[in-house]
Structure 1
């Protein structure tokens, strides 16, 4: 069952649903660093980093724990497998961006 690409795609689509949170947190961090914090916000980004780093690291560990065994069993080339995995993970976030008003 893990020899074909649909297994990797479905697993990463399912992983993409909770990935919305770390992706949004990374986007928020990047957008805040580019535009700068509002003048009335004096707290800085240290508190946000305390929140963002554990969430992103835990999700990254979960993602790699699921994908490494699947990649070893897959007949896809490594480059194709990891590209498919990344695109499958980003698909739910992309869908939310497209359908948002």
Structure 2
């Protein structure tokens, strides 16, 4: 039985490496449509085909990644002694860690 927080941390950091793609897709979509409509970001000037094409890509990619993330974390959550109020934020932050490292270093 996994009792320490290092196993969920390691699993979620490893899941965060391919997770860079769905996170980037979500940011690209948000920055070109809802955030741009609110005036918070500038729309990509060459993106004039609309957002439907992006939605056809984003929904399956993010959906499959979310399913994979959930299937990996649900059994792991039961095997650890971390409380759910600590486990889930740790898992989300560990998953976002590779993306944050890329943002900081690039």
Shared fold per TM-score greater than 0.5: yes
Residue 92 of structure 2, aligned match among 83, 86, 97:
86
Matches within 5 A, 1:5-84: 5-33=5-33, 34-35=35-36, 37=43, 41-84=47-90
Aligned partner of 2:40 in structure 1 is none
Contiguous gaps of at least 5 residues in structure 1: none
Measure how far apart 1:94 and its partner are. Answer: 0.2
TM-score by length of 1: 0.92
Measure how far apart 1:93 and its partner are. Answer: 0.2
Distance 1:21 1:41 in 2: 19
Alignment root-mean-square deviation, CA:
1.5
TM-score by length of 2: 0.88
Q: Give structure 1 regions of 4+ aligned residues with deviation exceeding 2 angstroms.
A: 34-42
Farther-moved stretch of structure 1 (90-99 vs 34-43): 34-43
